[in-house]
Each structure stands twice: as C-alpha cells, then as structure tokens.
Amino acid sequence: MQIVQFGLGGVGRELAHQLMARRDALAARYGVRLDYRALADSRAALIGDRLDPQAVFAAVAAKSEGRSLADLPASRMLTDPGMLLQGKPGILVDVTASDAISSAMAGAVRAGWRVVLANKRPLSAGMGLFQRLTQAGATRYEATVGAGLPIISTLQSLIDGGDRIERIEATVSGTLAFLMSALEDGMPFSRALLEAKALGYTEPDPRDDLSGADVARKALILARTCGWLLTPEDPAPEALYPDALASVDPETFLGRLPELDAPMARRLADAKAAGAALRYVATVSAAGVQVGLQTLPSTHPLAGLRGADNLFSFTTSRYHERPLVIRGPGAGLSVTAAGVLADIVATAREFRD
C-alpha cells in the first residue's frame, strides 16, 4: 500500500516513526506492505516510488529542527497537492490542521483513493465535502475525536449493525475536563486555568479551549457520522468567558481571568447544592448538538470523571438501560499517531485481497 502523507508536525512525525517501526511486523502479520510514496509539508514534498527509511527519517529530522522540507535537496516544491495524487490510488493521510488539501482530497476519493484523517477540518466544513469523503466508507478518521480512543470505529460498528443511536454524551476536551475537575476540588477557575497552561494543556491563547469551538467540531463529526446532516454553524458552543473578553488581546485576557472566578464558583455551588456535578459536555442526538456546561446527576457516567480524561457515553436502542462507555486520555502525540496508524492498517487490509 502506497501512502501519501500531508503534514509533518508533531503527530505527522510521530506517525512516520510508528509506521517505520511497525511495517515489518504488519507485513508479517497481515501481508500488507506499507510504503511512503510521498511525504509533504505545506511547501514541499519528498517523492519516491517507495521512500527508503533514511529519506523518511531525514525528513522527520529536518522538520524536528524547524526546517522545511523545501530545504532538503531531494525535495520538490509543492505547488498543488493534487500532483502527489496521480497514478495508482493509495492511501492519503492528512495530519495537517489546514484546509489546503480538502478539495484535492475529494478528487482523490473519486479516483479510488482511501483517506485517513487526524485533521478535523475536512469533516467539519460543508456537509457536501463530508459526504463526498465518507461515501462507501472511503475515509477513516478515528483520530479526529478522542485521539487513539476507539470512538469513531465503535460508533460506525453500532450503526453498521443496525443499532439506533439515541444520544452521545461526551467530554471531548481534556483541558476543559481538567478545569472542571480542579474547580470541583476547590480551586478558583483562574488558578486552575493557569495551572493547565503551565502543564501545557491549553492552546497558546486559552480562549481557543474555553470557546468550546474545538469541542463543537468534534461533536459535529460525531453527529454527521450518525447520519445527522448539520452545518458547521449548528453547534453553538457556550464559551466560558463573557463577550466582553472575547476580543481583548491575550495578555489582557489572562490578566482579567479572575473575573471568571465568581460566576464559575456560583455555577458549581448551584450544581453541588442539587447533589450534581458540573461538566463541559457535548450532547449529540437526532434533535441536534449541544455544547456547554451541564449539571449532571451524580450517577451519570460523566459525573464520575476526574482529571483530563475524555469520556464518551453511547445510549442506543440496544444499549438503552445502560450505555456503552469509553474513557481515557483523548490527546497526545503518541496515542493520536497510533489512532491514525490503526486506521491505515484497517484500510490497507481492505485493499489487500
């Protein structure tokens, strides 16, 4: 199986390492041979019939040192991603965070390529693109939601088996889960956020976490996987900061963080008074998607969640009385890359026979 990989950031480099480390074992086990036909960053690509390991590791090393693939003598400038998708169809892997190759990707699927995504953007843009990419199961995207946790594959199996999804409730942001857990332990919200930032759990501008936008993108992908046709605007996430702080500069935002403490403390106290837990939850059902703070009874699977874990609770026709629940770390380079690699293996096994 020939692989064209776009993206050599943290996940992309880890994926290249894992794939090179596992290819012999996977060939022995499943008779599938995984080779890179191309490795690309946003500017240039290494291209070969089967890139040898030295070339792959040279590309990874260059990117780790902050250089571009364009600096490597063997690379070619990438004027159009489509130039890498000519010839015999293979597996297109997108581990970028951009929209740059979305339209080339749709064309590739039409030509018989399979796609594996860690990039959420192609699936959380227009519904037409989602449908073109996922028709006939052409695209796998486990790592877009919950990183290496088996969320999309589980959901897909339930649906394939004829189960009816009634409701998915999830914490899909480790950062927000960590914040709610710290809040529950008595820490002021501002301090919990600064601690999360120090631990590297937040984006450079923490509003990118607190806005709920990333949670909404994941909820959208879950909903669409269930067959519910939603536009990117449908999930209107609840931001954990007031409008007044939406457009101040990041420095000012961090300085004014303590303004959030009293309102959050009040919401937590209200929940506690009702014997309930306060969680930042994505709820996905046929009725739509809701993303925001929720007060949950203490018996709810999400109420017991501590720390930065993700948790997904699937209530279906068959898992009706008691949900199917999956929980664990939903972020991190190694588990995200492993999620992508598992998708590549599953895809390659389908191509094999």
**Catalytic residue list:** 218
For the record, the structure tokens of 250 come out as: 């990041």
Burial zone of 193 (CB within 10 Å; 0-12 exposed, 13-18 middle, 19+ buried): buried
What is the secondary structure of 282-343 as a DSSP string? EEEETTEEEEEEEEEETTSGGGG--TT-EEEEEEESSS-SS-EEEEE----HHHHHHHHHHH
- Does position 160 interact with a second copy (CB under 8 A)? The reply is yes
Minimum CB–partner distance for residue 242 and a second copy (Å)? 33
**Closer to a second copy by Cβ: residue 21 or 246:** 21
- Cα angle, residue 33 at apex, residues 28 and 36 outer, rounded to 5°: 140
Contact with a second copy (CB under 8 A) among 49, 128, 200, 322: 322
- Does position 323 interact with a second copy (CB under 8 A)? The reply is yes
Return the beta strands (E) in the chain as ranges: 2-6, 35-40, 44-47, 76-77, 91-94, 114-117, 139-140, 165-171, 276-285, 288-297, 310-316, 324-328
- Does position 342 interact with a second copy (CB under 8 A)? The reply is yes
- Does position 10 interact with a second copy (CB under 8 A)? The reply is no
Q: How far is CA 10 from CA 3, 17, 41, 200, 265, in A?
A: 18, 11, 12, 14, 36
- Does position 228 interact with a second copy (CB under 8 A)? The reply is no
Residues that bind a second copy (rule: CB under 8 A) add up to a total of 50
C-beta separation of 6 from 347 below 8 A = no
φ/ψ of 283, rounded to 5, equals -115, 125
Q: How far is CA 56 from CA 7, 13, 146, in A?
A: 13, 9, 27
Report the distance separating Cα 270 and Cα 307, nearest Å.
Answer: 21
- Looking at residues 291 to 310 of the shown chain, list those that interact with a second copy (rule: CB under 8 A): 301, 304, 307, 309
Minimum CB–partner distance for residue 346 and a second copy (Å)? 8
Minimum CB–partner distance for residue 303 and a second copy (Å)? 11
Contact with a second copy (CB under 8 A) among 46, 116, 158, 282: 158
Stretch binding a second copy (CB under 8 A), from 40-48, 68-76, 97-105, 153-161: 153-161
Report the distance separating Cα 290 and Cα 293, nearest Å.
Answer: 9
- Does position 326 interact with a second copy (CB under 8 A)? The reply is yes
Contact with a second copy (CB under 8 A) among 42, 68, 154, 190: 154
Stretch binding a second copy (CB under 8 A), from 63-71, 94-102, 161-169, 260-268: 161-169
Contact with a second copy (CB under 8 A) among 213, 254, 265, 324: 324
- Does position 90 interact with a second copy (CB under 8 A)? The reply is no
Q: What's the gap between Cα 175 and its chain centre?
A: 14
- Does position 153 interact with a second copy (CB under 8 A)? The reply is yes
Stretch binding a second copy (CB under 8 A), from 37-45, 55-63, 152-160, 201-209: 152-160
The residue ranges that bind a second copy (CB under 8 A) are 18, 21-22, 25-26, 29-31, 136-137, 148-150, 153-154, 157-158, 160-163, 301, 304, 307, 309, 318-319, 321-329, 332, 334-335, 338-339, 341-342, 345-346, 349-353
